[in-house]
Amino acid sequence: MQAANRLQKSLRKGTPSFGAWQMLPGTNLTRVICRSAPNIDWLLIDLEHGNLSDDSMHEIVAAAAACGVSPIVRVPEGQHWMIKRALDSGAHGILVPVLETVDDAKNIARYSKLPPTGNRGFESLLAVEKFVEQHPHGGNVRQLTGREYAQQANDSLVIAVQIETKGALENVKEIAAVPGIDVLFIGPFDLGMNIGHPISSPDEMDQELVDAIQSIHEAAQEAGKATGIYCDTGEQAKEYANRGFHMVSAMTDMVGICKVFNQAFNAAK
């Protein structure tokens, strides 16, 4: 499984991993995004804020995996059934928003792991084919068996939690220490609002928010965990990667489409 999970491989090596963000439905869009650049390691499938159904999630997970890009599902919140649905679809990992406490983090880890580590129910029929190892131009196909999935899933799936609330920030060191949590992922816009320093422009942050982001990064480093962050541009993504962040988004479908259309029609005036 780890051989097919680009995000996991990158995190294990400690190198930056760049991702795209999909909020709009459609597997044609998924394939366009995933094939737009060779250094897209993961695609975030946004069930929290995106216009995506459970059916859409399953189809997008399959399309991204077929393109050799790790599908990561952001569930609406850390409920057991939501995590189970995402992982059973074959997602290579999950991102869980709006947690507040250490107990929240422990529950997320427990819901994400198969027994005896956790209490995730086992059903691999849809999941195994999202970890196929195959040369992109054909050749032999190596697909996991259900037994192999069960043996490898606990160590091969990426479990990320979003640090975006005041409570999570106050408890960040304890959250980072929870076994089974791999990534502390920063949502700067929500974090800024929740600590009283909203972002007025993507390029401008109050010093208190800058300090909060750095404290999360340091807590992750001390616990031997990876740090992720949402970025609106490739330039921002490069800056955070250079600062040692590991899981960095570089573009969202709705942002990119709007930007490219705006540039084209301004040029056409």
Residues annotated catalytic, as ranges: 49
* DSSP character string of the chain: -TTT-HHHHHHHHT--EEEEEE-S--HHHHHHHHTS-TT--EEEEETTTSS--HHHHHHHHHHHHHTT-EEEEE-SS--HHHHHHHHHTT-SEEEE----SHHHHHHHHHHHS-TTT--PPP--TTTGGGG-B--TT----B---HHHHHHHHHHHSEEEEEE-SHHHHHTHHHHHTSTT--EEEE-HHHHHHHTT---SBTTB--HHHHHHHHHHHHHHHHTT-EEEE--SSHHHHHHHHHTT-SEEEEEEHHHHHHHHHHHHHHHT-
